Each structure stands twice: as C-alpha cells, then as structure tokens.
Amino acid sequence: MCIGTETDLAKNRTFHITTFGCQMNEHDSEIMAGMLAEKGYEPVNTRDEADIVIFNTCSIRENADKRFFGTLGQLKHRKLEEREAFTVCVCGCMMQQQHIIDTLKSKYPWVDIVFGTHNLHQLPILLDNLYNENKKQIEVWQDGGEIVEGLPAKRLFKHKSFVNIMYGCNNFCSYCIVPYTRGRERSRRPEDIVTEVRKLASDGVKEITLLGQNVNSYRGCGEKCETDFTDLIYMLSEIDGIERIRFMTSHPKDLSDKLIDAFRNCDKLCKYIHLPVQAGSNDVLKAMNRKYTRESYLKLVKKIRTAVPSIAISTDIIVGFPGETEKDFEDTLDLAREVGYDSAFTFLYSIRQGTPAAKRTDQIPEEIKHQRFNRLVEVINSISAEKNREYRGTTQMVLADGVSRSKEGTYEGRTDSFKLVNFVGEPGLEGKIIPVKITDSNTFSLTGERE
Ligand code: 5AD
Ligand code: SF4
C-alpha cells in the first residue's frame, strides 16, 4: 500500500465536529479543529458536507448518552454507502467507559476511529493510521499522563477564548461520572498558561475564561509548587491586552478568602461567580459528598456579597437525588430564594453507572422528579427576572460578541457580570467593550442601546 504524506492524506478532506456537553468539551473541540486545520483538513459547517465527522461526547447525564447514540445512528446508511470516502470518529467522556466501547463495537462496528479524553492530541495520527493502514483505530488511554502543551486551537470567537488550567477532578461527588472519565486533578504549569495567554492577547483576545472542574484547587508547579489559583489570576491580569478574566467552576468547599479579595483588588477579574450548590438540604449534601453544609454555603455567599455587593452569582442544582424527601426539596427552594441567584442550571438527577449514588435503592420516581424540577424552575426564573430588572436604567460595559441570532439588526454581548445583552449599535462593534444603556429586561437577558 502506498503511504501518503500528511498533506496528501488531508488533501481536499473536510471535517465537522459535533460537540455535546460542557465548556471543557467545547474547548477540546476547538483544539481538535486547530490540529486538523494545521494538517490541511478543512472545516465545514454541517455534517452532511463533511468527509470526516467527529462526535465529541458527554457522559454527565443519560440524556447526553441517548442524544449521541441517536445522532450517530443516523450516519450508518451514509457510512455503508460511501465507505472509505466517509470517516466517522467518536471521542470524549463517554469513550472513557468500557460499557460504551462495548456498545460501539457490537452495535456500531462501522465507526472508524474511537479515542478518549486523555489522548485527543492523537487525532491527526489516528487519521493518518486509518488512511495508511485502512484499519479501524480504537485507542482510549485510561489516564492522563503528561499534560500535552502547545496544541493549536481554532477558536469560535476572535476576541475571547477558553484556557484550560487544569484537568480532572478529585472530588468524587457521589452522583458524578467526571472523576472517572476525566481522571485525577492535574494542573498545568503557570508559565505554560502565561505563555498561552500572552499569545492569545497578541492575537487580539480580550477575554479569557479559565477552565477546570474545580479551579479553586489549582496548584501550579513551576520551579516550586507555589502558585495557587488566585496567584495565577494576578499573573494573568498583568498581560496587556487581556481585559477580562472569568473562570469556571468553583467548588464552594475550596473557595479562599484570597480569591474573594481578588474580586475587589483585580479590576480585570469579572464580577461573576458560578458556585454550584447542588442541593439545599444538609442530608442530601452529605449523601452527595459535597463536603459543605447549607449554613457554610450561605455564609460563603454572604462573605462574597459583602466584599463585592454587585457580584452576580449562578449555580447548579440537582433535583431528585436518591432519597430526597419533600422537606429536602423545600430546603433547596428556600436556599435558592435566600441566595437570590442571578441564574441557575437545574438538572434532573440521572443515574450514572459506576457512581456510588447509582447503587442506591431509594431512587426518586420520574414523575416526582419532574414535578419538583418544574417547581424549582419557576422559583429560579422569577428570581432571575427580578435580578435582571435591577439592571434597567443602568449603563453596563458590554463585550459585543457579534450580531444577534434571535433579533435582526442587534448585537449580542455580555456584561462584566455575565448577563446576556441584546443591543442596537452601529456596525463594526464585534469584539469591542462598549457602554450600553439597559432599557429593558426579561428572565434570561437584558435589552439596551449603545450609549
Ligand atoms: N445527574 C444530574 N446532574 C448531574 N450533574 C453532574 N452529574 C449529574 C447527574 N448524575 C450536574 C451537576 C454539575 C453539572 C455540571 O452537572 O449539577 O455541577
Ligand atoms: Fe463532578 Fe463533583 Fe468533580 Fe464537579 S466537583 S466534576 S460535580 S465530582
């Protein structure tokens, strides 16, 4: 068989990546797109146009699993018809679970390439191997090994970027699959992060979002292991061109006073924090292995609000964790009201094979879960609408992301506090931070005019 060169192999081949799940996955997809573009593969906007289709999967809830298999199944006909001319690759969190690999092998044997979260940097090699050897490639690493640095990324936006600062999670919340799919915590070296952000700034990036499952336990080892998360924020804030720094996600048990001070002392650190509470009942929090109580969480929120009164706070809440009683659920409703969240992501508890909570025999019936979920959403939405109303008549600095998808002739952007704003303004504002007068608001967004 003739062995092609890299450029030969990529020649005229187009690709499309479908991403399921969180920002981590979105950023992984940007890196895969960057690697492929560097090899000469060409991105296209739809799966139908693509010679190579890649699914970057999520395993956080059962819905994500189902959606993936549903969408994958739709490609079978095309794959069997076009054979070598069409390549199907699957990767991401689901691939780190043996039962998923087994299902793929038995029910979707026509998939060409399978790889996991720990070896996504191998995608170009796996493609080369597939085309050279004409042989299916299944390569899933069980753990992370050395962090691979210097991978290119093809960003969705010119002016803002995700930056991974750490990988994995050590917390083992009893409902969560992430520690099993993403492995143990590993922090990148601070100097590698600084180099990446300097490069982003020189490319015109103004806003960075630092990503990790639990950024508060970042511990960067350079010469010595002494850079904590707040130190890293201060280091990055010194980079010219970077005007906004955000981060995701913070575990309440690890949030330091030093970080709270940084919200006051570092102008570039946006006044917004995502602080997942998951539940408002101490019994449920304990069973979830969250390692804080309702009282300590509320105290933390108070401390943050005292330090930075204008800060916006969002959260994640799971409804219907095994054993959750009506009283437990009411504690959650109560806590949501007491905190007064700007917004919340609400989830129905979903059994994840291999996690401790999946083995519990006191699972909550679907019907009750749904009823509670609807009640929670109603409470959350009315608080969000109220919080947004407070913005009416104020002027906010908004980073214009681009033209709005929902309303013609308007821009979409974010305030420092991460509120979505639709506003009218002259052409050419994309990527600029500009004052916007807020004229109206609803549950999920604000409306305004360029001031
Ligand atoms: N069921 C429902 N929601 C979950 N999450 C994580 N695991 C599960 C699960 N098994 C939610 C948590 C987490 C968010 C990213 O997803 O709220 O913070
Ligand atoms: Fe999952 Fe808990 Fe880790 Fe978040 S902190 S990724 S919920 S185990």
How many whole angstroms separate alpha carbon 348 and alpha carbon 369? 7
Residue 147 burial class via C-beta count within 10 angstroms: exposed 0-12, middle 13-18, buried 19 and up: middle
Cα separations (Å) of 57 from 68, 89, 325? 7, 11, 33
How many whole angstroms separate alpha carbon 234 and alpha carbon 217? 16
Question: Which pLDDT band, with edges at 50, 70 and 90, does 2 fall under?
Answer: very low
Contact 428, 417 (CB under 8 A): no
pLDDT score recorded for residue 201: 98
Q: Is the pLDDT of residue 408 over 80?
A: no
Q: Is the pLDDT of residue 8 over 70?
A: no
pLDDT score recorded for residue 153: 87
pLDDT score recorded for residue 223: 65
Q: How far is the CA of 18 from the centre of ligand 2 (A)?
A: 24
If you ran DSSP here, which 8-state letter would residue 113 be given?
E
Structural domains of the chain ordered from first start:
6-139 (3.40.50.12160), 157-261 (3.30.750.210), 271-389 (3.30.750.200), 395-450 (2.40.50.140)
Q: How would you list the strands of the sheet with 160-164, edge to edge?
A: 160-164, 207-211, 244-248
Question: Which pLDDT band, with edges at 50, 70 and 90, does 10 fall under?
Answer: low
Which of 176, 217, 251, 285 gets mutated to test ligand 2 (max ligand atoms within 8 A of its CB)? 176
Contact 372, 365 (CB under 8 A): no
Phi, psi (rounded to 5 degrees) for 366? -50, -40
* Span 40-44, average pLDDT: 95
Q: How far is the CA of 60 from the centre of ligand 1 (A)?
A: 6
Of 25-34, 147-156, 194-203, 423-432, which range is least confident?
147-156
How many whole angstroms separate alpha carbon 49 and alpha carbon 45? 7
Query: Residue 433 forms beta bridges with which residues?
Result: 399
- Omega within 30 of 0 (cis) for the link into 249: yes
How many whole angstroms separate alpha carbon 128 and alpha carbon 33? 16
Q: Is the Cα torsion angle 18, 183, 115, 146 positive or negative in sign? A: positive
Q: How far is the CA of 176 from the centre of ligand 1 (A)?
A: 6
* Span 315-327, average pLDDT: 98
Q: Is the pLDDT of residue 379 over 80?
A: yes
How many whole angstroms separate alpha carbon 175 and alpha carbon 379? 24
Cα separations (Å) of 423 from 225, 342, 388, 448? 45, 20, 15, 5
pLDDT score recorded for residue 196: 95
Q: Is the pLDDT of residue 437 over 80?
A: yes
| Closest ligand 2 atom number to CA of residue 177 | 1
**Ligand 2 binding pocket, CB closer than 6 Å:** 169, 171-173, 176, 178-179, 213-214, 251
pLDDT score recorded for residue 1: 37
Ligand nearest to C-alpha 213:
2
3-class SS at 402? strand
Nearest to 161 by CA among 362, 23, 46: 23
If you ran DSSP here, which 8-state letter would residue 269 be given?
B
Contact 110, 88 (CB under 8 A): yes
Our answer on whether the CB atom of 369 is closer than 6 Å to any ligand 1 atom is no
Q: Is the pLDDT of residue 198 over 70?
A: yes
| More reliable by pLDDT, 12 or 274 | 274
Amino acid at 357: A
Our answer on whether the CB atom of 60 is closer than 6 Å to any ligand 1 atom is yes
Q: In the structure encoding, which two tokens stand for residue 156, read together?
A: 């969705």
pLDDT score recorded for residue 69: 95
Our answer on whether the CB atom of 315 is closer than 6 Å to any ligand 1 atom is no
Q: Is the pLDDT of residue 66 over 50?
A: yes
How many whole angstroms separate alpha carbon 236 and alpha carbon 410? 32
How many whole angstroms separate alpha carbon 445 and alpha carbon 93? 31
For tokens 């890196």, name the residue: 31
* Span 309-326, average pLDDT: 98
* Span 185-198, average pLDDT: 95
Quote the mean pLDDT of the chain: 94
Q: How far is the CA of 380 from the centre of ligand 1 (A)?
A: 17
How many whole angstroms separate alpha carbon 37 and alpha carbon 54? 14
pLDDT score recorded for residue 337: 98
Our answer on whether the CB atom of 230 is closer than 6 Å to any ligand 1 atom is no
Residue 366 burial class via C-beta count within 10 angstroms: exposed 0-12, middle 13-18, buried 19 and up: exposed
Q: Is the pLDDT of residue 446 over 80?
A: yes
207-211 and 186-187 beta bridge pairing? unpaired
Q: Is the Cα torsion angle 368, 350, 354, 287 positive or negative in sign? A: negative
pLDDT score recorded for residue 445: 96
Span 248-275, pLDDT tens digits: 999 999 999 999 999 999 999 999 999 9
* Span 291-312, average pLDDT: 98
Contact 324, 362 (CB under 8 A): no
Residue 374 burial class via C-beta count within 10 angstroms: exposed 0-12, middle 13-18, buried 19 and up: exposed
Of 41-50, 222-231, 429-438, which range is least confident?
222-231
Largest CA distance in the chain: 70
pLDDT score recorded for residue 9: 64
pLDDT score recorded for residue 404: 78
Span 388-399, pLDDT tens digits: 999 999 999 999
Our answer on whether the CB atom of 347 is closer than 6 Å to any ligand 1 atom is yes
Our answer on whether the CB atom of 175 is closer than 6 Å to any ligand 1 atom is yes
Q: Is the pLDDT of residue 287 over 80?
A: yes
Our answer on whether the CB atom of 61 is closer than 6 Å to any ligand 1 atom is yes
| More reliable by pLDDT, 373 or 136 | 373
Our answer on whether the CB atom of 349 is closer than 6 Å to any ligand 1 atom is yes
Share of the chain above pLDDT 70, in %: 97
CA nearest ligand 2 atom 2, residue: 173
pLDDT score recorded for residue 146: 78
Question: Which pLDDT band, with edges at 50, 70 and 90, does 18 fall under?
Answer: very high
| More reliable by pLDDT, 451 or 346 | 346
Our answer on whether the CB atom of 329 is closer than 6 Å to any ligand 1 atom is no
Of 233-247, 364-378, 423-437, which range is least confident?
423-437
* Span 16-36, average pLDDT: 95
pLDDT score recorded for residue 441: 98
Share of the chain above pLDDT 90, in %: 86
* Span 229-233, average pLDDT: 97
Which of 24, 59, 318, 359 gets mutated to test ligand 1 (max ligand atoms within 8 A of its CB)? 318
| Closest ligand 1 atom number to CA of residue 276 | 18
pLDDT score recorded for residue 11: 67
